[in-house]
Amino acid sequence: MSRSTTPITWFEIGTDRPEDAERFYGEMFGWSFEEQGSANGGSYRVTGAGGDNGIGGAIRATDGTSPNYVVFYAEVDDVAETCRRAEAAGGRVLVPARTTPSGLTSAHLLDSTGNRLGVFSPPKP
C-alpha cells in the first residue's frame, strides 16, 4: 500500500441536537468538547478525540432544515485547485471554498459516487 501526501486530519459531526451528540460521543469514547462558536454564530464544539494517535474533530449545531451528517476533511495545500480537480474527476462542489476570519479555507465536495467529503487549508502563518 502506498502512502498518501493528503492526510485526513479532521472530522465534523453536523446535527440539530449537538447536546445529544456530545453526550453520546462522550459516553461512547470518553471525548470531551470545548465550545468555540463559528463564523456564522452557531455552536461549534471541538474535541481532541484523536489524542496523539488520531484526528481531532467537532460537533456543529445545525438548524434542523438539513440532514445530519458526518464528514471527514482532507488537509490540502490549495482548496480552490482541489475543487477544480474534484470536478474534473467527476465529483461536485457542494459548498464552494470559503475562508474564515482566522484564515482557514474549506469546501465540501461530493465524490463521483455521491459521498460527501471536506477539504481544508489551515491559516497561513
Q: What is the pLDDT along the chain (125 residues), one digit of tens a residue?
A: 667 778 888 888 888 888 888 888 888 778 889 998 775 668 889 988 777 777 888 888 988 888 888 888 988 899 999 999 999 988 899 999 999 999 999 999 988 878 888 999 999 88
Domain count, the chain: 2
Quick one: 66 and 102 in the same domain?
Answer: no
Last residue of a domain, one of 57, 75, 93: 75
List, as own/partner pairs, every contact residues 79-85 make where C-beta atoms lie below 8 angstroms and the sequence separation is at least 24, other chains included.
79/105, 79/106, 79/107, 79/119, 79/120, 79/121, 82/107, 82/109, 82/119, 83/107, 83/109, 83/119
Range of the domain at 120: 79-125
Given 41, 59, 75, the domain boundary residue is 75
Task: Identify the pLDDT of residue 14.
Answer: 86
